[in-house]
C-alpha cells in the first residue's frame, strides 16, 4: 500500500480514537473537568503523565538536538529526566495532600492572598503559552510532510482536533486520550529505533546499539558507531560529536533550569490530583518515570543514527540523484540545498548555510541571494567556500528517520501518528491548565466566588477555546524551533513557580509578601532576558556570566529565592493557621486521604 494512504489511515484512525474517547469520557462537572473526578488508576495516570510531559520537544525535537549538538545536547536529557525525579519525590505527594486543583489554587491558599493567586495565574499563562507554541509548531511540521499540507494549515488542523477532545472532555477526556496517545507515540518512537539499531549495529536494543560497533555493507566494521560519526564530522569540518563546546557554567544553568522548570510545570503537577489518594500519586509517579525512560534512553541512539545516515546518504551526491526522502522534505521547506560552487552536488560542510528557515527548494546562490522555486531570501553567512550547502531543520530528524533508513511504509505512517500524538497530548494538557487558571482561580476564586458550577464550566470551556486560538497563532509564528521554545517555558517555570512551591511546603515563615515579590522578580527578569538576548540583540557576547537564554531561568530562580526570603523576613509572618497547615502537609500520618480545606 502507498505510504501516503497508510499515513492517512494511521493518522485518521488515531484521530477517531481520540475523539471517541473524549465523547465516552465527557466531563459533566467541574471536578471531572479539572482533575478527572480524582479517580484515575495509577497506571493509567502514569501513562497520561508521560504523554503530557513528553511533548513534541521530547518526541520530535530532542533527538534532533542530540544529533546536532552531540555531547552538549546531554543537558536536555539530564535536565528533563532529573526534573521529573525532583517533582515526583520532592513536590508531588505534598501538593496532592494539600488537595487543590491547580498551582495558583495552592499559591492562593498557602499564601492567603488573592493577589498571590492572580500573580500565579499570570505566571501560568506566560509559561503555558510559551510551551504550547512549540507543541502547535510540532503538529504543523508533522502534517506538512506526512499529510502534504502547508505547515500553517497543519497547525490549524491540530487546533481543530485539540478543540474537539479537550473542550468536550476536560481533564477526564484528556487523561484517557493521553493514555491512548502514549501507546501510539512510544510504539512509533521505538519501532524505527529498533529497526535502525539492527541495521546499523546488529543490536536489537538501541540503548546497547549506541555503544556498539557499526555494521557497514552487512559486516561488522570493528569501529564503534560514535567513533565513526566523529570521523565523518571532523572530515566535513564540524567538531567531534562526543566533544562538548558549551561553557561549563551554561551547561549547569541550562540543566538546573530544565530540572526546576519541570518541577514547576503546572500541567504536570495537576496530574497528581487526578488519582484517588496520595499513595496513588507516588505509584503513578513511578509508572510515569518508567514510561518516560523508554523514550529518553532511546533518544541518544536515534540522534546518532540520524546524523550518520544523513551524512552518508546525501553528502557528495548529485542533487538529481538525491534519495527520495531528501526531496520529500525539501518540499516542506525544512530541508534546502544551495549549489554554491555550481558542481551539481550536495556538499555538507562545517558552518551554518542560512540565516533563518529557508522558504525555497533547489536554490542557487546569486550575488548574496538564495533564489529558488518558492521565493528568495538574502543570506549573510553562506558566501564562504567551506560553508555547508545544505540546510536541515533539526525538528525533522526523528520524523524523517524511517525514510532516511529506507524502512517500510507502515513504519513511516506510524511515525506520523506518533508525532501528532506527542504534540497534541501536551498541547491539550497545557490548554486545560490555562482554562483552569482563568475559570477556577481568576473567576471563581477572585472575581465571582458565587458563580454556579455550570457557569464556571462554561467559562472554562470558553477560556480553553480562546487559548487554542492564541496557541495556534504562536504555532504559526513560533519564536524558535520546538525544543528551544520549550526550554524557554521551563526557564520561566523555574523562575516563577519552583521557589514559591518549595518554600510553601518546607518553610513555614514564607509569607504572601515574599511569595508575590519573588514570583514577579523571577518572571520579569527571566522573560526580559530571553526576549532581549534572543530576539532584540542575539549576540552571545552580551550574555550575563556566559549564561544562554535557555539557562537564564536558573538565575531568575535564584533571584526569586533571594527576594522572597528577604521580603518575608522584613514583613509579618503568616497567620498561625497557615503555619499549622504547612506542618500538616508534611506529616505522613493520614497521608492516604487528601486534606479538605
At 214 the three-state DSSP class reads strand
Residue with cell 558507531: 225
181 inside domain: yes
491 inside domain: no
Taking the model in full, what pTM does it have? 0.78
106 inside domain: yes
341 inside domain: no
54 inside domain: yes
SS3 of 266-308: HHHHHHHHCCCCHHHHHHHHHHHHHHHHHHHCCHHHHHHHHHH
32 inside domain: yes
Pairing of strands 363-366, 335-339: parallel
Query: What's the rounded Cα separation, in Å, for the pair 207 and 89?
Result: 26
Angle (nearest 5°) at CA 62 between 44 and 198: 85
Compute the Cα dihedral for 550, 472, 87, 504 and give only its sign: positive
Tens-digit pLDDT profile for residues 414-455 = 888 887 777 777 777 777 778 878 887 888 888 888 888 888
For 5, 151, 420, 569, the CA distances from 12, given in Å and listed in that order, are 10, 18, 11, 58
Look up the domain containing 101 and give its range. 3-212+225-305+406-476
- List all residues 6 or more positions away from 560 whose beta carbon is below 8 Å from its beta carbon: 495, 496, 498, 499, 500, 518, 519, 521, 522
570 inside domain: no
- List all residues 6 or more positions away from 235 whose beta carbon is below 8 Å from its beta carbon: none
Query: What's the rounded Cα separation, in Å, for the pair 382 and 371?
Result: 13
Mean pLDDT of 541-567: 93
Which of 298, 286, 269 shows the shortest CA–CA distance to 52? 269
- Give the total number of structural domains in the chain: 1
Q: What is the CATH number of the domain that holds 133?
A: 1.20.1730.10
Tens-digit pLDDT profile for residues 104-120 = 888 888 999 888 888 88
214: exposed, middle or buried (Cβ count in 10 Å: 0-12, 13-18, 19+): buried
Look up residue 166 and give its DSSP letter: I
Query: What's the rounded Cα separation, in Å, for the pair 464 and 313?
Result: 45
Q: Across the strands, what pairs with 377?
A: 370
What share of the chain has pLDDT > 70, as a percent?
85
| Whether the predicted pLDDT of 99 surpasses 60 | yes
Cell numbers standing for residue 512: 504572601
Tens-digit pLDDT profile for residues 225-262 = 999 999 888 888 888 888 888 888 999 999 998 888 88
| Whether the predicted pLDDT of 382 surpasses 60 | no
Residue with cell 526522502: 325
Query: What's the rounded Cα separation, in Å, for the pair 205 and 409?
Result: 22
Tens-digit pLDDT profile for residues 180-226 = 888 888 988 899 899 999 999 999 999 999 999 998 877 888 899 99
Answer with the residue of higher pLDDT: 495 or 81. 495
Residue 590, pLDDT score: 47
161 inside domain: yes
- List all residues 6 or more positions away from 491 whose beta carbon is below 8 Å from its beta carbon: 257, 261, 526, 530, 549, 550, 551, 552, 553, 554, 556
Decide if 62 contacts 56 (C-beta within 8 A). no
Decide if 496 contacts 148 (C-beta within 8 A). no
Q: Across the strands, what pairs with 523?
A: none
- List all residues 6 or more positions away from 526 whose beta carbon is below 8 Å from its beta carbon: 491, 492, 494, 495, 496, 552, 553, 555, 556
Mean pLDDT of 411-415: 84
Cell numbers standing for residue 411: 513504519
Amino acid at each position: 500500500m502507498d505510504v501516503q494512504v497508510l499515513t492517512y489511515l494511521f493518522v485518521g484512525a488515531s484521530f477517531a480514537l481520540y475523539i471517541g474517547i473524549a465523547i465516552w469520557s465527557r466531563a459533566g462537572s467541574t471536578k471531572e473537568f479539572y482533575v478527572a473526578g480524582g479517580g484515575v488508576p495509577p497506571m493509567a495516570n502514569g501513562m497520561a503523565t508521560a504523554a503530557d510531559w513528553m511533548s513534541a520537544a521530547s518526541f520530535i525535537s530532542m533527538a534532533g538536538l542530540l544529533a546536532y549538538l552531540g555531547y552538549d545536547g546531554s543537558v536536555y536529557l539530564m535536565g528533563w529526566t532529573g526534573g521529573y525525579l525532583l517533582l515526583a519525590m520532592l513536590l508531588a505527594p505534598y501538593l496532592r495532600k494539600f488537595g487543590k486543583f491547580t498551582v495558583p489554587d495552592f499559591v492562593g491558599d498557602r499564601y492567603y492572598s488573592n493577589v498571590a493567586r492572580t500573580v500565579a495565574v499570570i505566571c501560568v499563562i506566560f509559561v503555558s503559552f510559551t510551551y504550547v507554541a512549540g507543541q502547535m509548531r510540532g503538529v504543523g511540521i508533522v502534517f506538512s510532510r506526512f499529510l502534504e499540507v502547508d505547515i500553517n494549515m497543519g497547525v490549524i488542523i491540530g487546533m481543530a482536533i485539540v478543540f474537539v477532545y479537550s473542550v468536550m472532555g476536560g481533564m477526564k477526556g484528556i487523561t484517557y486520550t493521553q493514555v491512548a496517545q502514549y501507546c501510539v507515540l512510544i510504539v512509533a518512537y521505538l519501532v524505527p529505533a529498533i529497526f535502525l539499531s539492527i541495521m546499523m549495529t546488529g543490536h536489537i536494543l538501541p540503548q546497547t546499539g549506541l555503544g556498539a560497533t557499526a555494521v557497514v555493507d552487512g559486516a561488522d566494521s570493528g569501529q564503534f558507531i560514535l567513533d565513526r560519526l566523529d570521523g565523518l564530522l571532523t572530515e566535513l569540518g564540524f567538531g567531534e560529536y562526543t566533544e562538548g563546546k558549551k561553557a561549563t557554567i551554561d551547561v549547569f544553568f541550562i540543566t538546573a533550569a530544565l530540572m526546576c522548570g519541570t518541577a514547576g510545570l503546572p500541567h504536570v503537577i495537576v496530574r497528581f490530583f487526578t488519582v484517588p489518594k496520595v499513595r496513588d500519586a507516588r505509584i503513578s509517579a513511578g509508572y510515569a518515570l518508567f514510561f518516560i525512560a523508554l523514550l529518553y534512553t532511546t533518544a541518544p541512539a536515534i540522534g546518532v543514527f540520524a546524523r550518520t545516515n544523513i551524512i552518508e546518504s546525501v553528502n557528495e551526491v548529485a542533487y538529481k540523484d538525491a534519495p527520495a526522502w531528501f526531496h520529500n522534505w525539501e518540499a516542506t521547506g525544512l530541508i534546502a540545498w544551495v549549489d554554491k560552487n555550481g558542481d551539481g552536488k550536495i556538499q555538507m560542510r562545517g558552518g551554518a548555510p542560512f540565516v533563518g528557515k529557508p522558504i525555497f527548494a533547489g536554490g542557487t546562490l546569486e550575488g548574496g541571494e538564495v533564489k529558488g522555486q518558492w521565493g528568495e531570501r538574502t543570506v549573510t553567512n553562506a558566501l564562504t567556500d567551506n560553508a555547508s550547502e545544505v540546510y536541515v531543520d533539526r525538528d525533522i530528524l526523528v520524523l524523517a528517520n524511517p525514510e532516511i533508513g529506507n524502512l517500510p511504509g507502515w513504519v513511516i505512517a506510524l511515525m506520523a501518528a506518533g508525532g501528532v500524538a506527542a504534540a497534541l497530548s501536551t498541547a491539550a494538557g497545557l490548554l486545560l491548565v490555562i482554562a483552569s487558571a482563568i475559570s477556577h482561580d481568576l473567576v471563581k476564586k477572585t472575581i465571582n466566588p458565587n458563580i454556579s458550577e455550570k457557569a464556571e464550566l462554561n467559562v472554562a470551556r470558553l477560556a480553553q477555546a480562546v487559548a487554542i486560538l492564541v496557541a495556534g497563532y504562536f504555532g504559526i509564528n513560533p519564536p524558535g524551533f520546538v525544543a528551544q521554545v520549550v526550554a524557554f517555558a521551563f526557564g520561566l517555570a523555574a523562575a516563577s513557580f519552583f521557589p514559591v512551591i518549595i518554600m510553601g511546603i518546607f518553610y513555614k515563615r514564607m509569607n504572601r509578601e515574599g511569595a508575590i515579590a519573588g514570583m514577579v522578580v523571577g518572571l520579569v527578569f527571566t522573560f526580559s532576558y530571553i526576549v532581549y538576548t534572543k530576539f532584540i540583540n542575539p549576540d552571545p557576547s552580551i550574555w550575563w556570566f556566559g549564561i544562554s537564554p535557555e539557562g537564564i531561568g536558573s538565575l531568575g530562580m535564584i533571584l526569586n529565592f533571594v527576594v522572597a526570603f528577604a521580603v518575608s523576613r522584613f514583613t509579618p509572618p503568616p497567620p498561625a493557621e497557615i503555619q499549622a497547615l504547612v506542618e500538616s502537609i508534611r506529616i505522613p500520618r493520614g497521608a492516604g486521604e487528601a486534606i479538605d480545606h
